[in-house]
Structure 1
């Protein structure tokens, strides 16, 4: 912006010329963004560019906050010492890192990273054997609901197939490791738009995210044999079995006989010299397996809660294949404890329910430090219950690792910042980029680079649909300000709304408690009533509060006109 002297000797404002250049850049960004978002072909996009010549103004990107969301570019002042884990910054590993490297932690703009990798077949479930390994880096200097999202994850390395790298993965990782070491030791000169100053930004990798098999490749630790557990190391007790691969075979019964335990499951010799394997409490008949699979095919889940598990049931309806890690969690947390009640012995059902409850607590958005310490002991006790019913071959290293999950949560914070769910979703996105089957790596790289550039540019674009302001798939909720918070949303029902006349008293009490327990306006009174019960020395506070709070609250607020609500009491 400024003035120049033209040929006539008159002053000419340069602001219009500057704006024209800005407009050109903005139009290009918008068009490229639409191209990637709608997956246009290069040919159609080139033809469109030959027709469109509109110019749009560009906003100044030199702002403290993003131009669209108005949120901070980086997160500072991590963590609260209140015993609640909300972010990896609340974990012991993050705090210990800050104590060991105070210079790094003093500047909140220094980046903390997580590194994830896993193999996948870019050709889907085809018979073609092909394994490609992307290496993904994600920053944690973000708001909690932005961490681990695809828009903020970076594909830093793509190890080509067709064979998996195995133990040679360190050779492929060498360039990335050199760059990470440079970021840690020397840093890189970075411009801070909020202060309009440059600073030396450093980065540190806090941990890796991978399944147990990939962990063996990355770390070099053998995940098989007597020392398979990296936490227990030499302190783990293990025993060699006849057949450690199958859980319920004749060899599993022979293992019990060798260990001189559970005689009712030992093989019984028939008169003709053959052996009979007695039925165990944990086995299901073919009809029971079929019934359970039919249940999985019929269940409908809330949008975004779980994958379509019905597609994992085979055509015969008695086996499950192709489950992802999140599907297994849905099974153990929600489906198995409920559906197995009519099929298995009560002791096994109780143990499965308790194990599912452990995973539910571990997968909570926020964790309490004192609960995690108790959870570790509970997990050991639950596995001991299962050891009394299931064969020894069932208890391999994968079952053993459940003991260490509460301790890992104490160190690293909530599990949603370190689990494989987002990585598996990203792998599915990368699989969709394959347009040339002969060169899958090239297809993924080209599409990802364009998408990454346009995703960054879309943070500064206004008046156009982006991945940051796009509406969700099922946007059928409107909010009205009148009434209680629990009733503040209008939703689209599945069918015709009818009034049920034969509602039992128990169902009415359950609905009443649901409203009271989920009204934000009553949190203060719920906490006050809970403190009264704690002072009385009540043990089962949850059930006691559920039973007594409605009457207590009715008497407490009946004569207060500001708090009175006939709907509540």
Structure 2
């Protein structure tokens, strides 16, 4: 007989559940739960977008003084400060929240994006942890893949290069080459330089439909490719683990390939500190190059939180032990059992 004691190291969940367990809302102008109120955000194309990734570059970097290539402004802000657990707990203790079970649709401005005080802070050691809630790399990778592929393939309903995004560029006075093409009383959205031409898209999808991967690396992606309609359908999270190469200008291909290498090295079974520091530098460069390529509407909150993934890997170790893949696979098996009404032994 012995007394078993357990400790919660961190939580692992998707971005929407992150808001419930952390108490910090992942929506609005302060959606980043790491940067908190220091995040750079703005209203673009009818939604909140998150730019300003030059803040993480050295203060004397040449991109800091460029304006038209980015959002029309130079960058002189410092990178967001880091909050300790004790500072967060002290801040939460000063705020007033609605009683448990009562939904409040309005929050005082002093509460920023805090919705409630998490029960985890009742644990005596919780405020001392350097990492309390882990950003799930699986869901981040999936959403980044969907946003990127939907935009470069110009898939209707998934691309971020919409008419609203083009009009937003006109309002900002940047990227004249991407403005709406107006002819007499009509305006049309021409294909952007970062999107594939119809023939190139069909060639790319045909290539992907015949690619073979090692067992366990990805599912049969050929079933997800619709060459005639020019889109992916039914793609699973673990399928997004596969990098993409395509027929695009070199200035567009290079940052995308660097992004693929970023996720490949981040999800390696063995991590080195030097590699993680290099990944921090790489992801800053990638997001800044993306800001020079894609419209502001491209930068959702998920695109932004990539800047925090290498540091969390430094604290928590290899992401293979702190992401949702094992849980999602188990849930998939349980769903099969529920659907068939048979036990796992019967299925075997």
TM-score bracket, normalised by the shorter chain, equals 0.5 to 0.7
CA RMSD, 1 decimal: 2.2
Measured against aligned partners, the alpha-carbon deviations of 1:489-519 in whole angstroms (never above 9, x if no partner) come to xxxxxxxxxxxxxxxxxxxxxxxxxxxxxxx
Using the alignment, how far apart are the partners of 1:281 and 1:409 within structure 2?
Answer: 35
Deviation of 1:430 after TM superposition, in Å, equals 0.9
- Contact 1:297/1:311 (8 A) holds in 2: yes
Ranges in structure 1 where 5+ consecutive residues have no aligned partner? 1-197, 437-442, 452-466, 468-569
Give unpaired runs (5+ residues) of structure 2. Answer: 48-157
Q: 1:251 is matched with which residue? A: 164
Q: Measure the CA separation in 1 of the matches of 2:253 and 2:45.
A: 28
2:58 alignment partner in structure 1: none
CA distance, structure 2, for counterparts of residue 229 and residue 210 of structure 1: 15
Q: Which residue of 2 aligns with 1:235?
A: 38
3-state SS of paired residue (1:434) = helix
For 1:359 and 1:219, locate their aligned partners in 2 and report how far apart those are by CA, in whole Å.
25
3-state secondary structure, aligned to 1:419: coil
1:414 matched to 2:318: yes
The C-alpha deviation readout for 1:425-451, integer Å capped at 9, x for no partner, is 112211220256xxxxxx58xx47x89
Question: Following the alignment from structure 1 to structure 2, what is the Cα–Cα distance between the partners of residues 213 and 289?
Answer: 33
TM-score (norm 1): 0.40
The answer to whether the Cα contact below 8 Å between 2:191 and 2:197 also exists between their aligned partners in 1 is no
Question: Which residue of 320, 323, 327 maps to 2:232?
Answer: 320
Q: Hey, what's the Cα distance between the residues in 1 that align with 2:32 and 2:191?
A: 32
Task: Report the equivalent of 2:77.
Answer: none
Q: What secondary structure is seen at the aligned counterpart in 2 of 1:203?
A: coil
Q: How far does residue 317 in structure 1 lie from its aligned partner after superposition?
A: 4.8
Are 1:279 and 2:182 an aligned pair? Answer: no
* Superposed structure 1 runs of 4+ greater than 4 Å apart: none
Larger radius of gyration: 1
2:202–2:227 contact (8 Å) kept in structure 1: no
* CA deviation vs aligned residue, 1:126-182 (integer Å, no higher than 9, x gap): xxxxxxxxxxxxxxxxxxxxxxxxxxxxxxxxxxxxxxxxxxxxxxxxxxxxxxxxx
Q: Matches of 1:324 and 1:210 in 2, distance apart? A: 17
- State the Cα deviation string for residues 44-86 of structure 1 (Å, max 9, x = none): xxxxxxxxxxxxxxxxxxxxxxxxxxxxxxxxxxxxxxxxxxx
Distance 2:198 2:332 in 1: 34
- Correspondence for 2:285: 381
Offset at residue 224 of structure 1 (A): 1.6
Displacement of 1:293 in angstroms is 1.8
Distance in 1 (alpha carbons) for counterparts of 2:181 and 2:228: 31
Shift of 1:221: 2.9
Contact 1:242 1:251 survives alignment (8 Å): yes
- Where does 1:86-125 land on structure 2 (aligned, <5 Å)? none
Alpha-carbon distance in structure 2 between the residues aligned to 1:304 and 1:372: 26
For residue 315 of structure 1, report the CA deviation from its aligned partner. 6.9
Matched residue, 1:288: 200
Deviations 1:183-218 (A, max 9, x none): xxxxxxxxxxxxxxx321101121222221232343
Once residues 204 and 329 of structure 2 are traced to their aligned partners in structure 1, the CA distance between those partners, rounded to angstroms, is: 27
Relative to the length of structure 2, the TM-score reads 0.63
Whole-Å separation in 2 of the counterparts to 1:418 and 1:357 = 20
The verdict on how the C-alpha distance between 1:355 and 1:227 changes in structure 2, with shifts beyond 3 A counting, is same
